[in-house]
Structure 1
Amino acid sequence: MRIGRTVQHTSAVDTTQITALFSPCRTWRYRLTLPFSGRRGDMVAIFLKNPSSASEMAADKTVRTASEYVWRHFPQAGGLHILNLYALRGTDSKEVGGTLRQQGEVYVIGPENDAAIRETLSASPTVIIAWGGHAGIPPVPYDRRVEHCLGILDESKSAIWRNVRKGSEKYPFHACYWAYDDRLTPVQMP
């Protein structure tokens, strides 16, 4: 898998306290935790499609945008957790889709992903869904994974939000494309 370029974490993030839950081989990233400097509140979880290059040391564009957004719009938040539908690291979702076709859904989801999602959501009273559409990933398995993760979210009892500018509750607008003045709307679980 190709891992793209990195950028610095936003200045709001306490880079000395970032943690990441990777598989030992670093093929899968299950969670990235970015605490904010000087804040001690609850963590906000953001649920994306698949992890790219962001790690304990550097961000990617999506993680930087998401962390800056949460910093600005959730002044009570102590930081954020980044989760993903698929834990397989890859910058281009077409590569993730190709790997799904070759090695199957279980491989790209990642062996510990659902457990990490449930654990993180149990400690996150607020979740923003922002995984976008299936671009690059076959629609049928993508929809199956979205439905599964919506079920996990429903079990969590967290307050769930999505960007109001674009997208839907099934395909919420991907955080990579957010503007800092975008608004969120509550998601009504079925």
Structure 2
Amino acid sequence: MRIGRTVQHAPAVDIDGIQADFSPCHTWRYGLSLPFRERRGPMITVFLKNPSSASASAADKTVRTASEYVWRNFPESGGVHILNLYALRGTDSQEVGQALREKGDTYVIGPENDAVIQQTLAGSAAVIIAWGGHAGIPATPYAERVRSCLEMLADSRLPVWRNGRKGSENYPFHACYWAYQDDLVAVS
């Protein structure tokens, strides 16, 4: 899998406090927790499609945008958790889709992903879904994975939002393209 370029974490992020949950082989990234500097409070989870290059030492464009958005729009938050539908790391969703076709859903989802999702949700105050459409990933397994993750979100009983500018409840606008002033709408 090709892993794209990195950028610096957002200035609001406490670099020393970042926790990245990778598999030992770094094939899968299950979670990324980014606490904010000089802020304590509940964590907001942003739920994306699949991880790319972000780690404890550097962000990618999507993680940087999501953490900046939460910092600016949730002044009571202590930081942001990043989760993904699929834990397989890859910048190009075409490659993730190819891995799904060749190795199956279980491989691309990642052996620990659902457990980490449930644990992270238990420690979150709210969730913003931002995984976008299936581009690059076969539509039917993608829709099934979205359904499964929406069920986990419903079971968590947390408030769930999505970007109100574009997208839908099943295919919310991807966080990479958010503007900091975008409004959120509740997901029913």
One fold, TM greater than 0.5? yes
Q: Which residue type is aligned with residue 11 of structure 1?
A: P
Q: What RMSD, in angstroms, separates the aligned Cα atoms of the two structures?
A: 0.4
SS in 2 for 1:99: helix
List runs of 5+ in structure 2 lacking aligned partners: none
List 4+ stretches of structure 1 deviating above 3 A.
none
Equivalent in the alignment of 1:150:
150
The TM-score, its normalising length taken from structure 2, stands at: 1.00
List runs of 5+ in structure 1 lacking aligned partners: none
- Aligned sequence identity (%): 70
Q: Distance in 2 between matches of 1:31 and 1:40?
A: 20
SS in 1 for 2:176: helix
Q: Distance in 1 between matches of 2:152 and 2:50?
A: 17
Q: Distance in 2 between matches of 1:55 and 1:19?
A: 8
The TM-score, its normalising length taken from structure 1, stands at: 0.98
Matched positions, count:
188
Q: Distance in 2 between matches of 1:75 and 1:58?
A: 23
Equivalent in the alignment of 1:174:
174
1:87-146 deviations in whole A, cap 9, x for unaligned?
Answer: 000001110000000000000000000000000001112100000000000000000000
Q: Distance in 2 between matches of 1:158 and 1:30?
A: 20
Q: Which residue type is aligned with residue 125 of structure 2?
A: P
1:16-50 deviations in whole A, cap 9, x for unaligned?
Answer: 11011110101000000000000110000000000
Equivalent in the alignment of 1:24:
24
1:38-76 deviations in whole A, cap 9, x for unaligned?
Answer: 011000000000000000000000000000000000000
* 2:92 matches 1:92: yes
